[in-house]
Amino acid sequence: MTSNHERREGSRAQRAARHGGVDAGPDDPVVGAREKKILMLHGINHGMFGKRDPKQYGTVTLAEIDARLQALGGELGAKVISFQSDHEGAFCERIHQAYADGTDAVLINAGAWTHYNYGIRDALAILTVPIVELHMSNIHAREPFRHHSVFAEIVRGQICGFGVDSYLLALRAAVAAVPKIIAA
C-alpha cells in the first residue's frame, strides 16, 4: 500500500518527467538547477489583511506579505507566484493550473476554508508536489471550530502562530521539500 506521502510526492521518474530532468534524490548534487516555482495560495478575506482583525493578523497588508515572500524566494532560488481569491471555484482552478504548469511546491493559507472546504481539499489532493499549510494566528489556540484542518492529512506540514513569519517559515520548508533535479 502506498502512503499518503509517497502518493503525494510521486515516484522519482514522475517528478523528473514533470521537471524535464532526472530526480537527483535528496543527497545528490544539483547540476543545471533551475529556479523553483512556488505557488502561494491566499484564501478568503486575505485581501483585507491590514484592515481585518489587527489583534489576530496585525496591520501587515497582503502586498507586504507577498513582497517579503518574493524577497526570501530570491535568496532561496525560488520564484513565488501569489494568488488570492474569495471565490472557491477560482481557487480550485488555480490549484488545477498548478498541477499542469510545473509548480514545484504549494504554500496555502486558505483562511476559514481550512476548516470545512472539502472542494479545495480534493483539488489539493490532485497535486503531486509538497504542500505546506500555514496560518498567521495559532489556530489551535482560537475558537474550537478552527482547531481542525480538512487539509491536514494531505499536506507535508502545517506552520501557524508566527504572524508574517509563518509565511517565511513555510516558504523555507517548501523549498527544502522540493526534490533536487539534475538537468537532462
What pLDDT digit, counting tens, does each position of 60-88 carry? 999 999 999 999 999 999 999 999 999 99
Told to judge if 42 belongs to the known catalytic residues of this protein, a careful annotator would answer no
- Residue 2 — φ and ψ, nearest 5°? -85, 135
- Residue 177 — φ and ψ, nearest 5°? -85, -15
Q: Region 120-127: what's the mean pLDDT?
A: 97
Domain carrying residue 158: 44-179
In a domain, 130, yes or no: yes
How far is the C-alpha of 183 from the C-alpha of 39, rounded, in Å?
22
In a domain, 5, yes or no: no
Q: Which three cell numbers stand for residue 15?
A: 517528478
Give me the catalytic one of 96, 135, 140, 147. 135
In a domain, 48, yes or no: yes
In a domain, 92, yes or no: yes
Instruction: Answer yes or no: is pLDDT of 25 > 70.
Output: no
Q: What is the CATH number of the domain that holds 136?
A: 3.40.50.9100
Q: Which of the four pLDDT bands, split at 50, 70 and 90, describes residue 21?
A: very low
C-alpha distance from residue 69 to each of 37, 65, 88, 140 (Å): 12, 6, 23, 24
Q: For the chain, what is the domain count?
A: 1
Told to judge if 99 belongs to the known catalytic residues of this protein, a careful annotator would answer no
Q: Region 107-125: what's the mean pLDDT?
A: 94
Mean pLDDT of the chain: 83
In a domain, 14, yes or no: no
pLDDT at 163: 92
DSSP string, 111-172: GGGGGT-HHHHHHHHH--S-EEEEESS-GGGS-GGGG--TTTTTSSEEEESSTTHHHHHHHH
Query: Between these two residues, 66 and 57, which has the higher pLDDT value?
Result: 66
Query: Between these two residues, 170 and 18, which has the higher pLDDT value?
Result: 170
pLDDT at 179: 85
How far is the C-alpha of 72 from the C-alpha of 74, rounded, in Å?
5
In a domain, 143, yes or no: yes
Give me the catalytic one of 19, 42, 46, 57. 57
pLDDT at 29: 42
In a domain, 66, yes or no: yes
pLDDT at 68: 98
Q: Which of the four pLDDT bands, split at 50, 70 and 90, describes residue 180?
A: low
**Residue 115 · residue 90 · CB < 8 Å:** no
In a domain, 32, yes or no: no
* pTM of the predicted structure, to 2 decimals: 0.79
